[in-house]
């Protein structure tokens, strides 16, 4: 662990990348079964799931804050399935060093906790929504819950001045790619960033292999047909992939998570729902943090574990090279 000029701790890897952002998967449980993420039988009812306890997550955030991490994202699985999610957000916001706390959710349960999350100090929400069509929603998520989700999205807009809202749209060829105009409309009406995302090879039953992948270039081409003004922004687009359209309250972004290599700027580490530190999405093993936490390891030793994980951070996903994992994104923390 190095020190900056201001004596703030920093986590630096072998390639001089500063790691200041942690994604914590607080559960692998979910109330949806998105076809690109998990199988219907992902978890059998009644079978206990090993996941980090409240105090353990708090401890992780404390150690991270003291090691140089500035931003924490709670994700999963579905983070709102945890009864203590509001307390986790409140606690994380109180930790020295942590400046930003955000979460990613499918929005199904947001009505239960939105007001409390805002009051607890949450800075932003990534709300995953792939379609506005009820049948399509049921086909993608295997659950018939769209009306409630849309009502919760509407409620979220009430907080758009205090919360940074992003809409995660996973684009699948021939499934929801026809809805680009509707998502564009959302960005016109609301001050949100609509993120059009590429499918990644993290799904238990490999929809990845079924030709549904839609690359960023194709997304850009389709978007350019709807908004010709985008074509003139192409140079800018290859750098930022984020577009402000004239007269729009929000933005549209393309997230080429698979086809472009952003590894040289990667500032992330992940904690899996079973308590492993992963320094790269493509690594398979990681470091067992849960065991250390349950053995009451002291803070100095926990910090060393994080630095050890950062030291193992591969140069890029290819160097991680341990064949493409089939694990669901819900375990790793998407
Ligand atoms: N359940 C929450 C949700 O859906 O927002 C949080 C966890 S989910 C794993 C986080 C994000 O990962 C979602 O936006 C989802 O679309 C994305 N995701 C899941 N599987 C993916 C895959 N195979 N490729 C790309 N993104 C994926
Ligand atoms: Fe659940 Fe999110 Fe995975 Fe969908 S993407 S199954 S909502 S964890």
**For ligand 2, atom 8, which residue shows the shortest CA distance?**
77
Q: Is 199 in the pocket of ligand 1 (CB under 6 A)?
A: yes
**Which atom of ligand 2 is found nearest the CA of 108?**
7
pLDDT at 63: 97
* Sequence-separated (6 or more) residues with CB below 8 Å from residue 210: none
Asked if the model's pLDDT at residue 238 lies above 70, the reply is: no
Confidence of residue 327 (pLDDT cuts 50, 70, 90): low
pLDDT score of 6 more than 80:
no
Instruction: Collect all residues with Cβ–Cβ distance below 8 Å to 284 and sequence separation of at least 6.
Output: 320, 322, 325
Residue 27 CA, ligand 2 centroid: distance in Å = 11
Across 115-122, average pLDDT: 98
Is residue 320 very low, low, confident or very high in pLDDT (cuts 50, 70, 90)?
A: low
Residue of 23, 28, 37, 169 to mutate, ligand 2, most atoms within 8 A of C-beta: 37
Pairwise CA distance, residues 193 & 125, whole Å? 11
The response to whether residue 66 sits with its C-beta less than 6 Å from ligand 2 reads no
Please give the average per-residue pLDDT across 288-306, as a whole number: 94
Please work out whether the CB of residue 128 comes within 6 Å of at least one atom of ligand 1.
yes
Q: Could you give the domains of the chain? A: 21-332 (3.20.20.70)
DSSP state, 263? G
* pLDDT of 3 strictly over 70: no
Cα(10) to ligand 2 centroid in Å equals 32
Residue 106 CB less than 6 A away from ligand 1: yes
Of the chain, the percentage scoring pLDDT greater than 90 comes to 63
Euclidean distance between CA atoms 70 and 86, whole angstroms: 19
Q: How would you classify the pairing of strands 193-197 and 164-170? A: parallel
How does residue 230 score in pLDDT terms, banded at 50, 70 and 90?
confident
Q: Give how far the C-alpha of residue 135 lies from the chain's centroid of Cα atoms, to the nearest Å.
A: 25
Q: Is the pLDDT of residue 114 over 90?
A: yes
pLDDT over 80 (residue 64) = yes
Distance CA 334, CA 315 (A): 20
For atom 3 of ligand 2, the residue with the nearest CA is 37
- Is the predicted pLDDT of residue 235 greater than 50, yes or no? no
Please report which ligand is nearest the Cα atom of 43. 2
pLDDT for position 236: 43
Q: Determine the Cα–Cα distance for residues 165 and 26; give it in Å rounded to an integer.
A: 20
Consecutive H or E run containing 229: none
329 within ligand 1 shell (Cβ under 6 A): yes
> Is the whole-model pTM more than 0.85?
yes
Contact 329, 75 (CB under 8 A): no
Distance 283 CA to ligand 1 centre (A): 18
pLDDT band at 326 (very low <50, low <70, confident <90, very high): low
Of ligand 1's atoms, which has the minimum distance to the CA of residue 32?
1
- For residue 166, what pLDDT is reported? 96
**Of all atoms in ligand 2, which is nearest to the CA of residue 37?**
3
Q: Is the CB of 127 under 6 A from ligand 1?
A: no
* pLDDT attached to residue 240: 55
> How high is the pLDDT of residue 86?
98
pLDDT of 133-187, one tens digit each? Answer: 999 999 999 999 999 999 999 999 999 999 999 999 999 998 999 999 999 999 9
Decide whether any atom of ligand 2 lies within 6 Å of the 152 Cβ.
no
Q: What is the dihedral of CA 108, 113, 119, 123, to 10 degrees?
A: -30
Closest CA relative to residue 128, chosen from 152, 159, 92, 163: 152
Residue 122 has pLDDT above 80, yes or no: yes
Q: Is the CB of 307 under 6 A from ligand 2?
A: no
Among the ranges given (42-46, 66-70, 185-189, 290-294), the one the predictor scored with the smallest mean pLDDT: 42-46
pLDDT at residue 314 greater than cutoff 70: yes
Residue ranges of E strands in the chain? 2-3, 9-10, 21-25, 71-75, 100-105, 124-128, 164-170, 193-197, 242-244, 251-255, 268-271, 276-278, 287-288
Q: How far, in Å, from the CA of 164 to the mean position of ligand 2?
A: 21
pLDDT at site 237: 43
């Amino acid at each position: 662990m190095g020190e900056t000029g201001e004596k703030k701790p920093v986590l630096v890897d072998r390639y001089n990348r500063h790691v200041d952002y942690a994604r914590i998967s607080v559960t692998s449980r979910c109330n949806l079964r998105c076809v690109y993420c998990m199988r219907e039988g992902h978890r059998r009812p009644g079978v206990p799931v090993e996941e980090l306890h409240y105090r353990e997550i708090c401890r992780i955030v404390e150690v991270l804050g003291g090691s140089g991490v500035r931003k924490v994202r709670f994700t999963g699985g579905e983070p709102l399935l945890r009864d203590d999610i509001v307390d986790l957000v409140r606690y994380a916001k109180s930790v020295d060093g942590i400046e930003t706390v955000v979460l990613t959710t499918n929005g199904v349960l947001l009505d239960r906790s939105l007001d409390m999350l805002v009051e607890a100090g949450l800075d932003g929400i990534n709300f995953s929504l792939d379609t506005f069509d009820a049948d399509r929603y049921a086909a993608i998520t295997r659950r018939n819950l769209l009306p409630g989700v849309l009502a919760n999205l509407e409620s979220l807009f009430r907080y758009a001045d205090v919360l940074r809202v992003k809409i995660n749209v996973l684009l699948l060829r021939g499934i929801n790619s026809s809805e680009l105009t509707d998502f564009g409309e959302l960005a016109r009406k609301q001050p949100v960033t609509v993120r059009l995302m590429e499918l990644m090879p993290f799904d238990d039953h490999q929809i990845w292999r079924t030709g549904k992948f839609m690359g960023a270039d194709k997304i850009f081409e389709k978007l350019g047909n709807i908004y010709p003004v985008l074509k003139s922004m192409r140079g800018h687009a290859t750098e930022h992939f984020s577009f402000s359209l004239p007269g729009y309250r929000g933005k549209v972004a393309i997230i080429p998570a698979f086809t472009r290599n952003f590894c040289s700027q990667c500032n992330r580490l992940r904690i899996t729902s079973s308590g492993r530190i992963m320094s790269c999405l493509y690594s398979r093993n990681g470091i067992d943090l849960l065991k250390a936490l349950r053995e009451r390891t002291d803070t100095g030793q926990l910090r060393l574990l994080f630095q050890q994980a950062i030291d193992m951070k591969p140069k890029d996903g290819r160097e991680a090279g341990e064949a493409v994992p089939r694990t669901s994104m819900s375990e790793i923390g998407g």
